[in-house]
């Protein structure tokens, strides 16, 4: 009976992982997501698992109470404030439950990641077929102009709200399997790379790709000696570098006006509105908006649509009223809601948990931590369930076979 119960539990975790990866976004529902709708289920798990939440709730309750007092003193629109605060709390609850789940079912993660990688590749091939079915193409492809002088073209999003959100979900899979290729001996690395990189390339999300590249380069430098101890791995990396160089040179000589090079040129010239809006312009707007109330404590959750809408419209000189007004940057949105003090608390909490949970012992967790830390300054948003899920993955003791000490022992045993 115990074995049957364990099998059922792992099957449930597998099913929830697939649903949250592919179907968490609910179309035409704004901030509503599957993870938010399942809040009663998370509360049930708290009761059934008999989780002790005092370590999380006490400091959080005091902090939010202080913030609420300051925000209401400065004046807020009550309904928006309460609803947005509840959404943030529910998303945080989801992240905490995810952390406990990773600790409880961590031995299933490798299998789940492999299944997600395969399923995602199958859905990618199916989506390519839908390119030729105009009525169904918008379901899985995102078609908007990504930058100046670049004609709109389809970017893979599957069931996510947009291509960048989809590629963000791909990040932990890519980091995990690249970590295994770099630090372990794996069979068929070429097939794994194809399954990872084709969907990422089709999403054409330069923000995610750039953050993965920068943080991957840092991880490579940090663990350079460990990676280069295996001669076969060194040759594979050299081969990959040569292939990448050949592809870039071929694009440059035979297809110089391709969207990738055009967008990179626009980013360098400051003409890429998406990049500007997700980076420094988000912080400019956050500074201007918090100046209306308190730059130390922010204006409060849900108040952006009340106080910031006019300012954002004026800043971008919109000719028509946008349906949704948002700061597309998690760090900048933290400043808007909770001020510069809130951003400092956010970063300090990340640093504290990095050392408290010994993230530095595992290169996969280090890489994912660096990716999330960097990406929060270039995208995401404050109640993004995917971000909380990935932070929970960083701070949980997952994939112990990638721990530094385990790899040292394995290497000595060869």
What tens-digit pLDDT sequence spans the chain (414 residues)? 344 444 545 677 888 888 889 888 866 556 678 888 898 988 888 888 777 776 777 788 889 899 999 999 999 999 999 999 999 999 999 998 999 999 988 888 999 999 999 999 999 999 999 999 989 999 999 988 777 677 788 999 998 888 899 999 999 999 999 999 888 877 778 888 889 989 999 998 888 999 999 999 999 999 988 888 776 677 777 777 787 788 778 777 777 777 777 888 888 877 787 888 888 999 999 999 999 999 999 999 999 988 887 888 888 776 665 666 788 899 999 999 999 999 999 999 999 999 999 999 999 999 999 999 999 999 898 999 999 999 999 999 999 988 876 665 555 544
Entry pTM? 0.92
CA distance 109 to 399: 8
Choose among 347, 370, 353: nearest CA to 220. Answer: 370
**Three-class secondary structure of residue 360 per DSSP:** helix
Choose among 42, 65, 238, 262: nearest CA to 149. Answer: 262
Give the torsion sign (CA, 157, 161, 166, 168).
positive
Q: How many domains does the chain have?
A: 1
Are 166 and 157 in contact by the 8 Å Cβ rule? The answer is: yes
Tokens of 308: 């910031």
Choose among 384, 301, 302, 331: nearest CA to 36. Answer: 384
Are 236 and 245 in contact by the 8 Å Cβ rule? The answer is: no
CA distance 319 to 187: 55
Choose among 103, 79, 24: nearest CA to 384. Answer: 24
Which residue range is the domain that position 149 belongs to?
Answer: 2-412
């Amino acid at each position: 009976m115990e074995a049957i119960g364990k099998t059922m539990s792992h099957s449930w975790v597998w099913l929830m992982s697939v649903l949250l990866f592919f179907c968490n976004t609910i179309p035409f529902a704004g901030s509503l997501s599957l993870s938010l709708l399942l809040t009663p289920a998370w509360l049930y798990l708290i009761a059934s698992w008999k989780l002790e939440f005092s370590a999380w709730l006490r400091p959080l309750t005091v902090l939010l109470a202080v913030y609420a007092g300051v925000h209401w003193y400065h004046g807020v629109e009550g309904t928006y404030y309460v609803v947005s605060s509840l959404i943030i709390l529910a998303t945080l609850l989801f992240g905490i439950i995810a952390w406990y789940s990773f600790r409880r079912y961590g031995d299933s993660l490798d299998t789940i990641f492999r299944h997600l990688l395969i399923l995602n590749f199958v859905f990618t091939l199916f989506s390519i077929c839908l390119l030729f079915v105009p009525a169904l193409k918008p379901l899985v492809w995102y078609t908007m102009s990504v930058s100046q002088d670049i004609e709109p073209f389809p970017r893979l999003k599957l069931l996510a709200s947009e291509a960048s959100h989809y590629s963000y979900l791909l990040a932990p899979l890519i980091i995990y399997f690249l970590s295994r290729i770099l630090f372990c001996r794996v069979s068929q690395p070429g097939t794994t790379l194809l399954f990872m990189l084709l969907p990422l390339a089709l999403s054409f999300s330069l923000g995610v790709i750039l953050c993965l590249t920068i943080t991957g380069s840092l991880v490579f430098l940090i663990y350079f000696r460990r990676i280069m101890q295996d001669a076969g791995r060194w040759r594979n990396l050299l081969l990959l570098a040569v292939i990448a160089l050949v592809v870039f040179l071929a694009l440059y000589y035979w297809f110089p006006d391709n969207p990738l090079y055009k967008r990179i040129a626009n980013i360098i010239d400051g003409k890429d509105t998406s990049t500007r809006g997700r980076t420094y312009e988000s912080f400019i707007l956050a500074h201007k908006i918090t100046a209306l109330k308190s730059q130390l404590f922010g204006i409060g959750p849900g108040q952006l649509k009340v106080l910031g809408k006019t300012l954002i419209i004026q800043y971008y000189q919109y000719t028509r009223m946008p349906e949704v007004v948002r700061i597309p940057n998690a760090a900048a949105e933290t400043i808007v809601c909770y001020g510069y003090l809130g951003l400092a608390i956010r970063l300090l909490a990340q640093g504290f948990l990095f050392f408290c949970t010994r993230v530095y012992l595992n290169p996969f967790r280090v890489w994912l931590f660096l990716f999330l830390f960097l990406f929060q300054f270039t995208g995401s948003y404050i109640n993004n369930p995917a971000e909380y899920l990935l932070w929970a993955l960083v701070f949980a003791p997952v994939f112990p076979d990638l721990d530094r000490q385990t790899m040292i022992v394995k290497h000595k045993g060869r």
